[in-house]
Structure 1
Amino acid sequence: MLKSLSLSALITAGLITGAMAQSVKPPSNGGMRAPQQQQRGLTVVNRSDTVLYRLFVFRQGGAEGPDRLGQNVVPSGRSFQLQLGRVQDCRVMVRSVFQDESEETRAVDICAEQQLVLTDEGRRDVQLDNATDATLMQVFLIPRGESDPGPDRLGSSMVAPGEHFRIRLRNFAACDVTVRASFAGLPAETREVNICNQPQVAFGDPSIPLREVPIVNRSSIVLYELYAIPMAEGAAPQQNPNWGPDRLGANVIGAGRDFSMRIRSGECRARVRAVFQNRREEIRDNVNICQPQPVVFQGARRLAIGNLYERPITGMYLSPVEERDWGSNQINEPLRQNGTAELGTDGGCRADLRIVFDNESAEELRNFDMCRNAAITLRPGWVTEARQ
């Protein structure tokens, strides 16, 4: 009885098991499982001399997607471990973009290769010489016959007057190109160049001397813009001239600070115009730029000083009465006997004046009226005279 039940149970179980087996749909691949996708990675090694800024990995013909470096960059001589996750296709495209906006794209088999080495092999260089008076802001190299200007070859850089810049070209086959350059404050330049035969492009005329002139802001207001144009010897200043580019570029000259202005000119005279933050302007005519002395811009109110003391004066300070600080020294060299100087301030009529001698002794005139007394002669008793 028990054996019969056991056999019956086994038969019943076998039937049930068979029924269950028949109810399961067999796999379409004949019972074999699909292989699982593996985690893939790629080590990017930068053996070029330029910082790697961006990196894109994508299927050929597909969207590039995000920059795989994120907030990172890969300096020259360094490497970066790229985690690609589970990918279906082994063959991908990798686009590398460098700091100078040069780039290269290559196909990589990430199943067979675990390392991508970036070098300067096959790179071409083109040197830019900025012999103009203005900052070079953008440069495009356009293969002849094409309309797409491509990337700005300066990247995030700018080329100051008299400076040089090297463009690095990767995967750039064209020799005949249109060079388009834009400047700060000057018209753009376009020219046709064969960069294979002539890998150097100069803007402006390097044969014209480049002069440097010290500019000093003795006012209490920031000097925002600075212009300069050559003047022929003995020529009268033009009315409403074309002042050209702002010589400061992205700079400003703070109160009491100085700046070395560059101007390319065959003439020894120039006209210089300063524009302050409050839009006040000052112009200096016939500035000698061949043997330059500092060009000093004072405040809106002027005070003429004459020195009759035998002892040289090494410091002169003029400031509004409401200011606690004397500000900067308004003379660049000692004022000797019978010498004259002009001081300036941007305050009201009431001002304080302090003079310092070469032996560090000092004399002061407080709260005097510059609007009533715009000239002072320094001699024994001058403080009392100025108050009368």
Structure 2
Amino acid sequence: MSLLTRASVPLALATVCLFLVQATDAEAQRRRPRQSEGTEVTVQNRGQGALSFLYVAPVGEGAWGEDRLGSDTVARNRNFRFTIEGEQCRFDVRGVFENGREETRFGIDLCARPELVMNGRTQTTGADLQRQGPVALYLVRNRSGNTMQTLKLVSANGDESEDVLGSTTVETNSQYTGRFERNAGCVYDLVATFEGSSERTLRRRDLCANREVVFGTGGDDPAPRAGAEERRNEPDGQPPLAVTIQNRGAVAIQYLHIRPRGTNNWGPDRLGSDTVEARGTFQLSLPRRGCDYDVKVRFSNDREEVRNGVNLCTTPEFVVEGPALAPGRGERKQTASARPAQPAISQVAIINEGDRPIESLFISSSKISSWGEDLLGAERIQPGARYTARVERDDQCNYDLRIVYTGGREERRMRQNLCQRREVAFGGANAFRVDGGGPDNGRRVVFTNSGRGAVREVYLTPTNDTHWGDDRLGSELLPPRFRLEMRLPTEGGCRWDLKVVYEGGQNMEKRDQDLCATPEMAIGRAGRTGQVVSTGTGFYINDAGYILTNHHVIDGCATVAISRPGGARIPLRLIGADEGADLAVLRQENTTSTPLRLRTGAGPVVRGGERVVLVGYPARSQLGGVNVTEGIVSGLRGALGDQSRFQYTAPTQPGNSGGPVLDGSGSVVGVVVSQIDKISGERTAQNINFGIKLDLVRTFLAANNVQAAEGESGAALPTPDILQNADQSVLPLDCLE
């Protein structure tokens, strides 16, 4: 090697090193903004309500600091921007929504990911509480029954902190995630004030060993006894076990006992005064005494479940399937100082995702026949808005909800479990959604009822389970077109067995389903193509083959056809339909038809006390042909004052739906509505049936550019003549799969 070559080696190495240093420096500058510029962070509110408070603290700070929102709030589906300064990139984030629910995120690199989505579902976990570093986290649960207004930490030497809640409060059954510097010590008194009660103190709590504290309904808790059974750490200094109990059943867990494997004493109830509600979770810390434990739970219906040899080191999320719902068995756990039982109050948020204001809201127990009073009064729920209704519950949880939009269109949600559901949406995509629960960080799966009948029960278990577990619907039904959304724990794997029970008792099983590859599945009851699934009545309204009937007669049908003798059918084309008005118009192509005429003339379209005649095809499989009944107009409004309906006494049966209500001369004065109503859960009795007024019929037809035949009422006719004149105009309709 020449001298020149040897001398070039260190020079080349130096050049390469300089280049690498410059490249690394440039890359660092690309990844981390300069201090003078800062980083603009965007927070997107995708929760169900307004974001009221937002705290953003560097991971090394011992306090949350000031509320970034100040006097502002972030409305649903809106964004908020702020700037972080300096070289720090990793932050902890805490948000509080208007309903008091807390959301937390820890160790987020806001330089690399300056967009943060808050959805109201991500809460502090046991793994978060166990994180290492100079700043420790702790969780305060408020189970006192009153709003926590202030919270202070008092150290062992008497130093008292500022109010750590800042400008927030902690509603009952909510939580607060706090932070403190480890080098300042671990043992504190927690001093809280509550609305309507005096100051409460939890004394000498070691927040390094037990990260969760609960303010219950009793008095101040005594300090833990030194050397007692609930030691917080073993002599070897190992950290405690953080365990999350997931109740996947439909019955609350009242008692929870956990003992090291091989010991005989179950020890104290780990829940204390708490319970784990159906589909709820509970987090606790255990002194680490190995990994294998026995777990025993007792449900509110007195059933017990025991699992032996559970490795809580490798299974920190313990899933309890639990029994099926069995109301009326067992008693709820009460604290010694519990007050006499008071009527339970549920709060449910009514969300208007439609395009019209909601002007009436009715909520009543599924056990009673009356809708009760309009809860809105003079208020309105505008599109995109929400309204919180307070419901005084009886001894059960199932309630029926009915809303009326401006203009008269209605929607209903029947048998909603208000003990579990906190939101019910009307209109929009979420109007057809049932929440099946599950862990917040679980895998989302969706089951859609694509059939015409309701789904009564849904069972879903990992393929290696030997039992079906509990009904995932609980006490709810999954009506046609509705979807059941749930979140599955990741430790359950991808392959699951599914069992569906339909309202008529039929069931369907799908084994070994890969829900990772197919997270959305149709579970409607399969029918045979061309099979008749329901029948109704329609009638010609002009000579061009246009036919009027109810929306619920044609809803979900693959084909609607006129049924003819000998099994022949004439298919019809759908022209238009309105679910709220419960009207549909179809057409028979290439025909000249004999219509019934809508009544015109001076005076009311329908008059109280006048004679009416129904011609239709009820119970066709038993009666076989056309049927005629008569009565009088007994009321000029429908249920709850509905001005688009009138009441008549002519007997009405399933299959009359969509048929004409005729006056004494055979002119049309309304359209039959035969539907399930709030009368003991059965079909309306024969003397309180309803018809759709012609005002709404004409509005519907005009919206679909259909002209109906009209004419003034003539001389009164006997019923046989009315039937003879209408026989060629009134049609039996089949709904086909």
Q: TM-score, normalised by structure 1?
A: 0.39
Question: More relative contact order in 1 or in 2 (CA 8 Å, sep 6+)?
Answer: 1
